[in-house]
Amino acid sequence: MQFYSTNDVTHRVSVEEAIFRGLPADKGLYMPERIDPLPASFFRELPELSFTEIGFRVTRQLLGDEINDTDLRTIVEGAINFPAPVVQLDEQKYVLELFHGPSLAFKDFGARFMSRLMGYYNRGKEHELIILVATSGDTGGAVAAGFYDTPGIQVVILYPSGKVSALQEKQLTTLGKNIHALEIDGTFDDCQAIVKQAFLDAPLRERLRLSSANSINISRLIPQTFYYFEAVKQLGIAGDPIAFCVPSGNFGNLTAGLIARQLGLPIHHFIAATNQNDVVPRFLTSGTYDVKPSIPTLSNAMDVGAPSNFARMVNLFGHLDGKQTIAANTHTDLQDILSGYSFDDQTTESAVREVEQQYGYTIDPHGAVGYLALDAWQNTHPATRGVILETAHPSKFKPDVERILGHPIHVPQRLAELADKEKVAHPFAASYLPIKEWLLATFGV
């Protein structure tokens, strides 16, 4: 299997190069050269397959024969060793809990899979690999946990100062060893722009082996397809059509769902749920993709004004040259499978209270935005089963959730024990050059 750039379909690289390079020089994103549907036999067997067996077969379909079966099973089984249960709210609404991994967020799926895949390809390399990652909240903690103490790999996490929750910050600033946190005086978009600039800096890449753990890296998206299959397995294919409602920031999670659908998973519809950073819902309405600076909100992991994975989303619907204007048919085709909604913080807070009062379920602010979007969509599509992706444990946003609900909530031990650990972070302005100089001084050879 080879991977091409969303800006140039003729630019092809191997799986290994796509994973380690992260970003093509033409500023596109890597996509698999083909996404063939899984055989009908797979879907007949789906109800009996384990979560890891699903992951193995999906990965094999997307990567081809790049990795032998024994090593591929080891990678998948080592990464996906926690569940993704579906919890029923009522006859139409369900929650897919993606927070049962070590960092209590859905990013654990991608980070743990990526760390093992990179470890497989990194064996025997002379120089250390430097992972650069920007985070708006959950990615940093998941990457820190997933790559912690991995031989031959150093991790540098850029995060916006004051714009992640206290416990999210502790998850990425307290581990030490090979995990390095850079606290940026700016937004997530500033952090992401710095990371992208580093990958496009040829002189820097001559000095350092760089790769990314953001969802710009295709290996992050592969394991995020797994839990769509796992959710459909739990719900059963028979019955009302299934729609997935995805709280969205950088749109990697939703893109993974679109890939799962292209692999043959019978998904009826997707709902993109955003906070006030609503670039994709606005595109779905107008056909114009108009980025803008991100706005800080209660659901901070979705505070993204220029979602990278939009390039992959439109690519899946025929926009094969990202340098060209998006064609009307691409917009129309995407509208057929995807609806978008955005909500402000006040409405989000009301939804957190409503879900607890109506269903006895504690939902985090991101999941609450998903609940609102699913409810709005089901008002006109009642004969459906809607699945909200609950992307993080509510205790990661403990101060806000407790303020909204007016009572304490449970905090898992592995998160509670972070509270007293010392934060270690390097402060920087939102400027590329000082960070480049720090990278060279710290890791240069």
Band (pLDDT 50/70/90 cuts) for residue 149 is confident
Alpha-carbon distances, residue 77 vs 15, 42, 55, 209 (angstroms): 20, 19, 8, 27
Domain 85-103+220-405 has CATH 3.40.50.1100: yes
Pairing of strands 209-212, 338-342: unpaired
Domain boundaries, the chain: 85-103+220-405
Given a cut of 90, whether residue 142 has pLDDT beyond it is no
Which strands, in side-by-side order, build the sheet including 338-342? 86-88, 93-97, 385-390, 242-247, 269-274, 338-342
Q: What is the crossing angle of helices 328-337 and 279-286, to 10°? A: 110
Q: Are 103 and 138 in contact (CB under 8 A)?
A: yes
Given a cut of 70, whether residue 415 has pLDDT beyond it is yes
CA neighbor of 29 nearest in space, from 401, 323, 325, 407: 323
> What mean pLDDT do residues 22-46 have?
93
Which helix (H) or strand (E) segment holds residue 94: the answer is: strand 93-97
The one-letter amino acid at 405: L
Neighbours of 212 (CB within 10 A): 25
Note the pLDDT of residue 166. 84
The Cα–Cα gap between 184 and 266 comes to: 42
The model's pLDDT over 284-302, given as tens digits with 9 standing for 90+, comes to: 999 999 999 889 999 988 9
Given a cut of 80, whether residue 137 has pLDDT beyond it is no
Band (pLDDT 50/70/90 cuts) for residue 333 is very high
Given a cut of 80, whether residue 394 has pLDDT beyond it is yes
Given a cut of 80, whether residue 138 has pLDDT beyond it is no
Lowest mean pLDDT among 22-26, 103-107, 247-251: 22-26
Return the residue matching tokens 């439109």.
Answer: 314
Given a cut of 70, whether residue 304 has pLDDT beyond it is yes
CA 293, chain centre distance (Å): 20
Mean pLDDT of the chain: 93
> What mean pLDDT do residues 382-402 have?
95
Which helix (H) or strand (E) segment holds residue 338: the answer is: strand 338-342
Note the pLDDT of residue 335. 96
Q: What are phi and psi of 420, to 5 degrees?
A: -95, 5
Band (pLDDT 50/70/90 cuts) for residue 312 is very high
Note the pLDDT of residue 417. 85
Given a cut of 90, whether residue 361 has pLDDT beyond it is yes
Band (pLDDT 50/70/90 cuts) for residue 10 is very high
The Cα–Cα gap between 374 and 351 comes to: 12
Note the pLDDT of residue 8. 93
Q: What is the crossing angle of helices 432-443 and 188-199, to 10°? A: 60
Band (pLDDT 50/70/90 cuts) for residue 359 is very high
Note the pLDDT of residue 445. 64
Q: To the nearest whole percent, how much of the chain has pLDDT over 90?
A: 77
The one-letter amino acid at 239: G
Q: To the nearest whole percent, how much of the chain has pLDDT over 70?
A: 100
